[in-house]
Amino acid sequence: MNVVFLAPSYPPEMQQYTRGLAEVGVNVLGVGDSPRRALPPSLKPYLADYLQVPAIMNENDVIKRVHAWLKGRSVDRVLANWEPLVILAARLRERFGLPGMTVDQVTGFRDKQLMKERVKAAGLRVPHSFRASSEKEIRAAAERIGFPMIVKPISGAGSADTFKVSSKPELESAIAAIRHVQEVSCEEFIEGEEFTFDTVCIDGKPAYENIAAYLPKPLIARTNEWISPVIITVRDMQQPRLRPGITLGRKVLTALGMGTGFTHMEWFLTPKGEAVFGEIGCRPGGAHLVDQMNYTGDIDLFREWARVACWKSFEAPTARKFNAGIIFKRALGQGRISRITGLKDYLRRYGNHVVEEELLRPGTQRRNWKQTLLSDGHLMVRHPNWDEAYKISFAAATDITMYAGG
């Protein structure tokens, strides 16, 4: 089987999906704008061929170049797991008459306003929202929705350029901050806990399901530098309080016409126990969420996704063994990391439960915490008991401190 995989080297986790494809017997034809010579040596054995394009986001140009490159060769699938490229993959599938989700289906997962309209039309609870492409329209939406409300890009990913506004002055500040965004969704603010609902689907039916808890909610974590964001996958998905979210998630997949592949949904659990839809993408969650899911069940979802995408077969066990937590750290100060305190004591206490420790070391330049959730590195922990996993995760958040600068 010949599979075109878009952006096989970036973001870095795409290298794992490339590996997964090769390991299930696929000839991986990579397409990206990274120079061939810059591809990681560990990636090259998994690529049967590679096309470098000038700009992977230039959809029309990429389609022309891929069409010319593949002339005379048969292709069975075109796949992408990076949010900005899912529509390009669908356009290529339609161009070559290949199986997989259509442009219209994928757009329902990419356009946040259209997404909510389709989910609402299926009778499911979504935040009240309006599309806006001008400052005037944003202000008009605020009048209709009221405060507090959320303003975020129609086609964004994660919490980038997302703002909670609770007053007219805050609204004006948000408008000024998102002038570079062409189109936004203005929506009702939902009070409650925030979770993920992640799946690997075969023809819209989950072969694998996951729930993870955001602690705190992503919007809070993205607007307070001092916070060490924590995400924990939930081992016990059968607990009654989470059932509304699972039911909602499955119905959302049907409402949006999900096909085969990964999905990553975010939803809210209100104080009254109501599950409210947030948003969904037809791609995996980022920021090592797939690694967390792998640690939850001791499986390899990079490979299983590839098997599903190519053969519609999921062979890994779905039993959940652990609650897996990831803790993202942010250094105090600016410049290069100067020191880390508390790490040795933490590892002495909880080292048996730490499966990854990837903190930036002294001398390394700080990352921009506003641009990446990965911040200045992370720890990954796991424990079969939720309370213990929670305690171990938040001990890393509070007891380890990173410093930058002097």
- Find out whether 83 and 157 touch, Cβ atoms under 8 Å: yes
Same domain? 385 vs 248: yes
Q: Give tens-digit pLDDT for 307-366.
A: 999 999 999 999 999 999 999 999 999 999 999 999 999 999 999 999 999 999 999 999
Give yes or no: residues 65 and 213 share one domain: no
* Domain end point (choices 188, 212, 240): 188
Question: Which of 59, 82, 100 delimits the end of a domain?
Answer: 100
Question: Among 29, 20, 22, which residue's Cα sits nearest to residue 2?
Answer: 29
Question: What CATH code is carried by the domain that includes residue 161?
Answer: 3.30.1490.20
What per-residue confidence (pLDDT) applies to 154? 81
* b/e per residue 111-137 (b: at least 16 CB within 10 A): bbbbbbebbbeeebbbbebbbbeeeee
Our count of domains for the chain comes to 3
Residue 254: CATH number of its domain = 3.30.470.20
On whether both 326 and 370 belong to a single domain, the answer is yes
Q: pLDDT at position 372, please?
A: 87
Co-location of 84 and 164 in the same domain: no
**Quick one: pLDDT at residue 370?**
84
Question: What predicted TM-score, i.e. pTM, was given to this entire model?
Answer: 0.93
Residue 107 in any domain: the answer is: no
Do 216 and 333 lie in one domain? The reply is yes
Domain membership flag for residue 352? yes
Asked if 211 and 325 sit in the same domain, the reply is yes
Same domain, 226 and 371: yes
The angle formed by the CA atoms of residues 264, 265 and 269, to the nearest 5 degrees, is 145
Q: Are residues 170 and 74 in the same domain?
A: no
What CATH number is associated with residue 53?
3.40.50.20
Query: What percent of the chain shows pLDDT beyond 90?
Result: 90
Rounded to 5 degrees, φ, ψ at 118 are -70, -40
Per the structure, the complete domain to which residue 302 belongs is given by 193-404
- Residue 106 counted as domain residue: no
Looking at residue 155, its pLDDT comes to 73
pLDDT at 157: 61
pLDDT score at 381: 98
116 in any annotated domain: no
pLDDT value, residue 162: 86
Instruction: Tell whether 21 is covered by a domain.
Output: yes
**Phi, psi (5° rounding) for residue 183?**
-145, 135
Residue 259 within a domain: yes
The confidence score (pLDDT) of residue 222 equals 84
| 221 and 342 housed in the same domain | yes
pLDDT digits (tens, 9 = 90+) for 181-222: 989 989 999 999 999 999 999 999 999 999 999 999 888 898
Kindly list the distances between the CA atom of residue 219 and the CA atoms of 131, 216, 373, in Å, as whole numbers in the listed order. Answer: 20, 8, 11
Indicate whether 180 and 202 sit together in one domain: no
- Residues 276 and 322 placed together within one structural domain of the fold: yes
Side-chain-side CA neighbours of residue 363 (13 Å)? 1
Cα–Cα distance between 87 and 157 in angstroms, integer? 14
Residues 167-184 have pLDDT tens digits of: 999 999 999 998 889 899
- Give whole-number Cα distances, 220 to 216, 349, 401, in Å: 6, 29, 20
Q: Give the chain's residues under pLDDT 70.
A: 156-159, 406
115 in any annotated domain: no
* Per-residue pLDDT, 159: 61
Question: Is 35 a domain residue?
Answer: yes
Q: What is the pLDDT of residue 336?
A: 97
